[in-house]
Amino acid sequence: MRPIGIFDSGYGGLTVFREIRQAMPQYDYLYLGDNARAPYGPRSFELVYEFTLQAVRHLFDQGCPLVILACNTASAKALRTIQQRDLPRLFPPSGTDTDGLPTRRVLGVIRPTVEAVGDITHTRHIGIMATQGTVRSHTYELELAKLHPDITVTGEACPMWVPLVENYEYESDGADYFVQKNINHLLARDPLIDAIILGCTHFPLLYNKVRAYTPAHIQLMSQGEYVANSLKSYLRRHPTMEARLSQGGAARFFTTEQPDNFNDSAAIFLNHPVLAQHVTLA
């Protein structure tokens, strides 16, 4: 198998995987959740980079020619270095490749989201709800400045949201408390916001709560759909990479935690039984 690898610190990337597989059911997929070391949000640049590179290498070792970092924190803190420093060194372009790119590739979730938001906001004021790591990296601001310099961005770190999802508390009263608190805080900082990016792949699990505490005129953007569309167009534009992918319609799951825990939660997120394998990353 030469599957598409999908990586997240935990369960959140399943929200992206679900949309990608729905849009492109023909490919094989390999999902890896580093649940034992989640959340990544509060961790340093160095650690997020180290953990992400370990995960990417594991997915390459399993045969994936292409890996999607279905994690904003990893996309914000590790993607550039992996793309610019590690891949050209580890997998230099082959003579038969016409695009001159490394033979293995890694893509993130921030760029496709930033591309999409320009068509969604009218006031040109947007909010980003994300982990501390993503907000403090200012990656969204940097990407927006390149594509939509007229947009004003306000980032809101939501450090309790990932633990609520990882611990299966996203429908609890505790989730109401933290979601309402962060939404109110964000909107008080910029009342002109008319679009909010759920800039963490765990957050679609909290969508109903976020919707309940956000005024109806504000659009909420979950990333899965944008990432799936962007991947589809990427594969159209890069036929050499597309030809490397196997098309058996299968999906396998790996976790650094106990597979039983992963299976139970992933089955709820995906609506079908999941049988994950344990893996140790180093």
Q: Would you count residue 86 as binding ligand DGL (CB under 6 A)?
A: no
Contact 134/156 with Cβ under 8 angstroms?
no
Question: Contact region for ligand DGL (CB under 6 A) — 36-44, 55-63, 86-94, 268-276?
Answer: 36-44
Residue whose CB is less far from ligand DGL, 39 or 259: 39
| Token pair belonging to 120 | 């969604």
21 vs 202, which CB is nearer to ligand DGL? 202
134 counts as binding ligand DGL under rule CB under 6 A: yes
Distance in angstroms (rounded) separating the CA atoms of residues 133 and 130: 8
Distance (Å, rounded) from C-alpha 255 to C-alpha 98?
35
Buried b (16+ CB within 10 A) or exposed e, 103-137: bbbbbbbbbbbbebbeeebeeebbbbbbbbbbbbb
What is the nearest approach in angstroms of ligand DGL to the Cβ of residue 81? 17
Nearer to ligand DGL, 20 or 38 (CB): 38
Site membership for ligand DGL, residue 52 (CB under 6 A): no
Closest contact distance (angstroms) between CB of 10 and ligand DGL is 6
The number of angstroms, rounded, from the C-alpha of 1 to the middle of its chain's C-alpha atoms is 23
Strands 29-33 and 251-255: parallel
CA dist 142 and 202 (Å) reads: 22
Beta carbon nearer to ligand DGL, 131 or 214: 131
Binding of ligand DGL at residue 38 (CB under 6 A)? yes
Phi, psi angle pair for 146, to nearest 5°: -75, -40
- Our answer to whether residue 64 is catalytic in this structure is no
Q: Is residue 112 part of the contact set for ligand DGL (CB under 6 A)?
A: no
Residue among 83, 19, 21 nearest 49 (CA): 83
Choose between 1 and 47: whose C-beta lies nearer to ligand DGL: 47
Contact status: 144 vs ligand DGL (CB under 6 A) = no
Q: Report if residue 102 touches ligand DGL, rule: CB under 6 A.
A: no
Active site (annotated) includes residue 158? no
Site string for ligand DGL, 154-183 (x = CB under 6 A): --------x---------------------
Say what angle helices 139-147 and 110-117 make with each other, to 10 degrees: 50
Residue 22: partners with Cβ closer than 8 Å, 6 or more residues away = 228
CA distance 110 to 69: 10
Give the closest residue to 14 by CA, choosing from 203, 234, 218, 242.
203
Closest separation in Å from C-beta 130 to ligand DGL:
6
Considering the complex, state which of residue 101 and residue 143 has its C-beta at the smaller distance from ligand DGL.
143
The verdict on 9 binding ligand DGL (CB under 6 A) reads yes
Residues binding ligand DGL: what is the number (CB under 6 A)? 17
What is the set of active-site residues? 71, 200
Binding positions for ligand DGL, rule: CB under 6 A: 8-10, 12, 38-41, 71-73, 131, 134, 162, 200-202
